[in-house]
Every structure is written in structure tokens, then in C-alpha cells.
Amino acid sequence: MSPSVTIDHVSKLYGARAALTEVSLHLAPGQCVALVGHNGAGKSTLIKLMLGLIRPSRGGVRLLGEDPAGAHAARLRRAVGYLPENLAFHPSLTGKETLDFYARLKGVSRAGNAGLLARVGLEAEAARRRVGTYSKGMRQRLGLAQALLGQPRVLFLDEPTTGLDPALRQVFYEIVQELRRAGVTVLLSSHALTELEGQTDRIIVMNRGVKIADGTLAGLRHLADLPVRIRALGAPAAMVADALGTLGQVSTDGHTVECRCAGGDKVAVLRRLTSLPLADLSVVEPSLDELYAHFLRQEQAA
């Protein structure tokens, strides 16, 4: 399948400041990709380039096989949904009117709008109110509804869950999973890493405009080769250290014994630990936050 989005050696300069440097990546249909990095890492710039809102200083951008800032850009954008980072609507329109307005701009029938509002959990009573009175969560729901108009093939969600309550976040990711199963390419940027675990196929880590890592969560874990922590309860630290030998380092807080070992030694360590008289055992894989921190450190050291 041809990629939905192709970024080919793209650099973007604002004056002398480089917002992006030599970034290349592909997004495939049905893929949910997380774009990770802290503020100013170039996440929003990358999304705006893909949307054709800005043009690259160097390199090429292709959205569904065409130039998103080119002559056919308007037609191309019928197949695209976008939820901007700093979402703003016209405060004098009601939620329903807002969605109607955007549906007409996209040339989509407004018949499905009520269903769309229900899908994102915006109640009919709320939809009749002016957007100026909305809470952040309600605005974000409306924002997601407009991004879903016309069944887009590519969806760009820029910091979609920042400042949302956990229940709404759940709704968000459920919808993203549905879309992904339907073959939609979903790119979502975030700096809330922990919540992305299990939600995305692939993670792209950005730092200061440079792509520093790109792969599946498992792939990135493998690449980073961060130590796995295994917590054991019920056996004294000395006994655990004895059993492990050189396979891992052992520390204790007096209650739980924590063993750190390389990812490749995990099974061997577990085998030795289970022969001990333990009350409990848990394995803590390196979290996304730790992975991110690792790739940042690596980048700074390079």
C-alpha cells in the first residue's frame, strides 16, 4: 500500500531558526502513529507541513500522493481531518451551527452531524449552546467531531488529550482505535507519553526539530535496551543477589527487592527467581517516559 503521508528530507527554517532539520518519515494507511517530543520539538510544525499550511524550506511533502500546498490542495483536504493544538471556534455560533458550518465547507451532508455529536459525547442540550460557553473538554469533543466529518482517510490530532479528564481520554482513544481498524491513518502528537502505551502502532520521537527515534514500542524498547526491573517480595536481598550472580543488580528498600537486568536476560533471571521462596513477583518494563528520556540523553551525548 502506498503511504498516506511521506516526508522526505524536510527542513523548515523560520529566519535563521531551524524548526525541523532533515526529517524523513512515512505514514501508512491504518496506522496510528504517535509523535512524541516536548514543546518546541517540531511536532506542530510537522503536522502543519503535512496539512500544507506551511511549506518546507527544503525537501518534499506528499499527502495522499500529492503536494498538500499545491494546486489541488483544496480537493485533497476533503480527505483530511485536523484537530489543532490550540483549538478555537467562533464563540457566537452554537455547537451544532459550528459543525454544520464545517460540514458545508467540506461538502458533506449535515444529516450525519447529530450522530457525530453523539459519538463524541456532546449532548443535544450542549450542542444548542454557544461555543463561547463551552468547557475545554466540550470544545475538544466538538473539535474531534469536526475532524471526523466526511470520514477522513488521514487524521491529524495535535495534542488531542492535553487537559482532558480520564473518561474523555478513554472515549478519545476508543474512537481512534475504531478509525485505525477502518484503515484511517491517525497521527497524534502528545507529550503525555504514558497514556499512549497500547494505543499506537508506532512512535516517532522528536527533539529540537530532529527525528531521534522511530519504531514500534517493542522495537524502541529493544533499541534502547533499557534495564528491566523485576520486583520480588518475600525473599531477603542477599538470597536474591546470590541466586542472580552476575545476571542483575539487586537493591532493596527493606521490603521489596528490586533486580535490574538487561532485557535479554529477563527470562533467565525470572527462572532463577521463581526457584526462590517468593510471595510475589512483578516485571516492570521500561515505560515510554523512560524510553523518551533515554533517547533524549542519547541525542545529547551524540
Partner 1 sequence: MSGTHTSIPLILAGKEIRDGLRNRWVVAATLLMATLALSLTFLGSVPTGTVGAGALDVVVVSLSSLTIFLVPLIALLLSFDAIVGEVDRGTMSLLLSYPVSRGQVVLGKFLGHLSLLGFATLVGYGAAGAALALTGADTGPEGWRAFAGLIGSSILLGAVFIALGYLVSAVVRDRGAAGGIAIGLWLVFVLVFDMALLGILVADQGKTVTVGLLNWLMLANPADAFRLFNLTGTDQVSQFAGMAGIAGQIHLGPVTLLAVLAGWTVLPLAAAALIFSRRQI
Closest to partner 1 by CB, 47 vs 288, is: 47
Query: Residues 240-279: x/- map of binding to partner 1 (CB under 8 A)?
Result: ----------------------------------------
Q: How far is CA 106 from CA 101, 109, 128, 300, in A?
A: 9, 9, 22, 44
Query: Which of the ranges 45-53, 199-207, 225-233, 240-248 carries the binding residues for partner 1, by CB under 8 A?
Result: 45-53
**Size of the chain in residues:** 302
For position 70 contacting partner 1 by CB under 8 A, the verdict is: no
Q: Which of 28, 54, 241, 247 is the binder for partner 1 (CB under 8 A)? A: 54
Considering Cα of 65, then 56, then 204, then 141, what sign does the dihedral take?
negative
| 282 lies in the binding site for partner 1 (CB under 8 A) | no
Q: What angle do CA 77, 10, 191 make, to 5 degrees?
A: 75
Part of the chain binding partner 1 (CB under 8 A), chosen from 78-86, 242-250, 269-277, 289-297: 78-86
Asked if 104 touches partner 1 (CB under 8 A), the answer is yes
75 binds partner 1 (CB under 8 A): yes
| Residue 102 is a binding residue for partner 1 (CB under 8 A) | yes
Select 108 or 235, whichever has its Cβ closest to partner 1: 108
Burial class (CB in 10 A: 0-12, 13-18, 19+), 76: buried
CB of 284 to partner 1, least distance (A): 40
Least separation, in Å, of the C-beta of 171 and partner 1?
Answer: 21
- For the chain, helix, strand, coil in percent to 5 are 40, 30, 35
Least distance CB 116 / partner 1 (angstroms)? 16
Strand 5-14 and strand 58-63: the pairing is antiparallel
Q: Does 108 bind partner 1 (CB under 8 A)?
A: yes
Beta bridge partners of 203: 34, 215
Q: Give Cβ neighbours of residue 234 (< 8 Å, ≥ 6 apart).
A: 277, 278, 279, 280
Q: b/e for 169-179, b at 16 or more Cβ within 10 A?
A: bebbbebbeeb
- The footprint of partner 1 on this chain (CB under 8 A) covers a number of residues equal to 33
Q: How far is the CB of 144 from partner 1 (least distance, A)?
A: 12
Please report where in the chains the cell 520486583 appears, as a residue: 231
Residues that bind partner 1 (CB under 8 A): 14, 48, 51, 53-55, 73-78, 80, 82, 84, 86-90, 92-93, 97, 101-102, 104-109, 146, 156
